[in-house]
Structure 1
């Protein structure tokens, strides 16, 4: 929520980073208050886990503070509409903040109580759902999903008509029973059928439960077709259409193995060498993180009747891997994930079964210790990648993994020349952003890298102590920018290489075409490929590649500095185009 000028500055930075689209922040501009413009957004934020913030007097494209006339009057209008214009009262905290001589009205919309959802706008008697790029009217199934969440989810214990113990996969059941006997003192001596009854795989009538069929069935999709995963590659040279589409089905352990294999097959694998000279495969996405996130999607998906019309989706885009599943979190918030209080199972019985269920190679679906998200974050940090991001809309939960470390070879060389030994992944990325003109505050740093205030303070202060960052401002508005000495450091050359910007006397200076997908980031290659047919604007490049405007700008900056792209037009103009040199 936005409470002061620092929070507002952070919110504006997030909008700019996300290209104007943000799940929990909405920017609006209008000369006079518009109930019809705010009705859907107020409804959507009230239905969104954690609520959201509306900024009146901020444009989205480009992100800019334009201010509002009569801020007090607009604040009163927001509160009045929130109280009277919906199926249940919406709590809104409003205040005004002056920035750069203009006034922004901030409306922090609180999430409605679970039993009040879905909150409907009286203007058209419709309930709205917040998505990453705006507000959408809920479908009947989505409304039913929220209504079902008025009580603790128990759908995983429901019997599946027409099933029996013969519907289960013998190999999966054998491994499951062996793991139960090895891991449970009470069930160790019980016969097979009693174990299956006590762990809710079977009902007293001999039918298989939904959880049992999903986790251990021969082919669960015979009875519930949408208990599957669809995987697809989006974007690329052929445009935004999906390719390499695959339906992944079977029981949970088999789907988990197949889905991880699919990601591994469709992403880059490099060979790296350790200090002893031994080579090993390094995957573009750490498979530990991929496996954990897919397992979470499988085990915690919504199993209620309205949600059974939807499946789990894996989408491999040019800049990220997206894993989404029907439903939302239960009993925890996104901010609590990975903490000691961040463990809560949506489907309790399915969760218990999956702590013992494993594939034929003895790999269990989940450990059941609540450490999975921490393992994901640790794996990404070790791979020098940005943190995973989570979005919970209440009816769909999404995990977004960055496609690769967003550090170009030039930036990596520059960091090496800085002697960045001992810096954290967050500090390395922050320095690169500083190199390209960004400054940091504690709030923007912790939001960007998923740290708490004290961690952010220590890391930023460490950069200052090392002489890499300079501090400006006073307490409450302190910012960190790249120190002049660091900005003058030249990129270093690796063994057998010529330092960037130099050439031997007998060789003319020629730019290197970014044709090696291992050496350059995927974003830069995608932008380069989009310019093959001629000049394009930033917006056209973003549309062609599926990248955000910030990512496009970052890649274009690298290509321009490499002498590979020229600019036609003025800086900041929407008509400016870029073409290959």
Structure 2
């Protein structure tokens, strides 16, 4: 991390008044705090992040007294290597900041095959942490169980269901399934009897008493009423009139609709999509081919989102009491399912063509051959196409891209209702005074304005190649309107603090050297930090300008380079 990037990150921390979710700051004036080990575990088990040592949060993230950068760097490197299992691989460096030195560690997310990362002295179940708010939280037994299953392939969906019989399956759907697979894969199924074919498809399996029973995957796709055996393996919908469950109008209803959807997955998907659309508004447009009705959320997007949640959720005994939850607010649609992303897939991978990993392979296989009600269309027509389809439909409708929130025990998809580039946002972008912004850069700025961080991955989801996404984000940083947080693949981009953007407007067309020289007029003696605050320029820009002015004899320092008393004054 460069000094300039660090200065902008600290400006964000000062503005928020606390640590960020993936940025942990500690003073470490008396040595390396023991809690740093918890943080290293938490960041490794989460999405990675940044540890900054040498700043005191209580004093506004100012340099901490008694901080020994070299000693803390060595202690941190030792902790990463010796105190955690598996060892944490982080990039540790010493960076200058406000006439002092701080230690920065960039911690990457641990490969899912090796999670959880834990403090060795405490053991796996007491020493494994994740991030919660701006702090560290110990992982629950359920979370550790999910991380363990993530190392291999769960088989919950291929297990026979106690008490179920083949009569609990819809015979019509079973015959349609057999006809389809025999036509598509004749070598594997054409010469098999129905019972043998169903066993090969993992629709039927023997239990411990050698009794042939439907599997969980079969009940969920072909069952007449799966909730007879698993009452909560369904989906629920709650529609609120406002932007939260507490936003209730005076004398108004607490919610506009509250219901559950039972039956097999195809029935749940069909009924849930209809219910969501029924509770959203429709706008009509006229084009050359006639009238077009457009919902707040494209129907195809809702269908893919609900089907994905039911397909990829955790079906282990830990979470069979938790349904897929669909919540519709006045400004957003939220779909949440138990169980986070499975396998090596991360949030940054979502949307990439061909990216897939499912904890429920039997269910995924069957849903490719089971139709939605009253149509010939399959529930999942092509694995790995769900999220790319959603992104394509949202771009076509001019809607914001979805937000993905992944945690070990839950995955949540959020669809904003508004249009990204509305009149107010377009006017705000114009006020920035930036020329030649691309369409995707404007969309990225609109995302950041709404409070969401932008990554290289989210830029790719807007249709850019990876190298172009990197270039466009770097250009926004160079313009000074965006700040980068994190390094390399963990980088995310946020709007720069407003005072820095105001400085760009006030100093438009004026060189950094001239801006610094103006700040020193009138006989003022200012520290480098004073100049930064007065001009709004970054650490590196002030430093370069001062070097140039010193070399030209226009500015004189008042003390040696490393002195805390060093100030600058104009030579005139």
| 1:317-466 equivalent positions in 2, closer than 5 A | 317=329, 319-327=331-339, 328-362=341-375, 363-411=377-425, 426-430=440-444, 446=456, 449-450=459-460, 453-456=466-469
Mark the CA change 1:291 to 1:410 in structure 2 (over 3 Å): closer, same or farther.
Answer: same
In structure 2, the residue matched to 1:224 is: 230
In structure 2, the residue matched to 1:154 is: 155
Q: Choose the corresponding residue for 1:27, options 24, 29, 34.
A: 24
Range that drifts further, 154-163 or 87-96: 87-96
Mark the CA change 1:56 to 1:264 in structure 2 (over 3 Å): closer, same or farther.
Answer: farther
Looking at structure 1, the residues matched to 258 and 212 of structure 2 have their Cα atoms a distance apart, in angstroms, of 37
Partner deviation per Cα, 1:14-60 (whole Å, 9 max, x = no partner): 9899997865x123243635635434332222223x53333446799
Matched, 1:316 2:317: no
What SS does structure 2 have at the residue aligned with 1:387? Answer: coil
In structure 2, the residue matched to 1:167 is: 168
Tell me the CA shift for residue 396 of structure 1: 2.4
In structure 1, the residue matched to 2:309 is: 297
What SS does structure 2 have at the residue aligned with 1:302? Answer: coil
In structure 1, the residue matched to 2:51 is: 54
Partner deviation per Cα, 1:406-447 (whole Å, 9 max, x = no partner): 333344589999xxxx9975244356689x899xxxx96746
Mark the CA change 1:78 to 1:429 in structure 2 (over 3 Å): closer, same or farther.
Answer: same
Looking at structure 2, the residues matched to 21 and 227 of structure 1 have their Cα atoms a distance apart, in angstroms, of 38
What SS does structure 2 have at the residue aligned with 1:360? Answer: coil
In structure 1, the residue matched to 2:202 is: 200
In structure 2, the residue matched to 1:209 is: 215
Range that drifts further, 316-325 or 209-218: 316-325
Looking at structure 2, the residues matched to 433 and 353 of structure 1 have their Cα atoms a distance apart, in angstroms, of 37
Mark the CA change 1:112 to 1:336 in structure 2 (over 3 Å): closer, same or farther.
Answer: closer
Structure 2 gap segments, 5+ residues each: 249-253, 485-494, 509-572
Matched, 1:179 2:176: no
In structure 2, the residue matched to 1:540 is: none
- Confirm or deny: 8 A CA contact 1:36 1:123 kept in the other structure: no
- Confirm or deny: 8 A CA contact 1:142 1:306 kept in the other structure: no
Measured on the aligned residues, the alpha-carbon RMSD in Å equals 4.5
Range that drifts further, 360-369 or 346-355: 360-369
Tell me the CA shift for residue 271 of structure 1: 1.8
Structure 1 gap segments, 5+ residues each: 488-581
Matched, 1:285 2:297: yes
Mark the CA change 1:390 to 1:174 in structure 2 (over 3 Å): closer, same or farther.
Answer: same
What SS does structure 1 have at the residue aligned with 2:320? Answer: helix
| 1:11-22 equivalent positions in 2, closer than 5 A | none
Looking at structure 1, the residues matched to 15 and 269 of structure 2 have their Cα atoms a distance apart, in angstroms, of 33
Return the TM-score normalized by structure 1. 0.66
Range that drifts further, 343-352 or 172-181: 172-181
Tell me the CA shift for residue 256 of structure 1: 1.3
Tell me the CA shift for residue 366 of structure 1: 0.8
Looking at structure 2, the residues matched to 339 and 448 of structure 1 have their Cα atoms a distance apart, in angstroms, of 10
Looking at structure 2, the residues matched to 416 and 52 of structure 1 have their Cα atoms a distance apart, in angstroms, of 33
What SS does structure 2 have at the residue aligned with 1:375? Answer: helix
Tell me the CA shift for residue 102 of structure 1: 6.1
In structure 1, the residue matched to 2:537 is: none
Tell me the CA shift for residue 472 of structure 1: 7.7
- Confirm or deny: 8 A CA contact 2:24 2:134 kept in the other structure: no
Q: Choose the corresponding residue for 2:246, options 239, 244, 268.
A: 239
In structure 1, the residue matched to 2:513 is: none
In structure 1, the residue matched to 2:548 is: none
Mark the CA change 1:179 to 1:134 in structure 2 (over 3 Å): closer, same or farther.
Answer: farther
Mark the CA change 1:407 to 1:181 in structure 2 (over 3 Å): closer, same or farther.
Answer: same
Looking at structure 2, the residues matched to 340 and 7 of structure 1 have their Cα atoms a distance apart, in angstroms, of 33
Looking at structure 1, the residues matched to 55 and 418 of structure 2 have their Cα atoms a distance apart, in angstroms, of 32
Tell me the CA shift for residue 202 of structure 1: 0.9
Looking at structure 2, the residues matched to 431 and 142 of structure 1 have their Cα atoms a distance apart, in angstroms, of 35
- Confirm or deny: 8 A CA contact 1:172 1:360 kept in the other structure: no
Range that drifts further, 256-265 or 152-161: 256-265
What SS does structure 2 have at the residue aligned with 1:146? Answer: helix
- Confirm or deny: 8 A CA contact 2:27 2:57 kept in the other structure: no
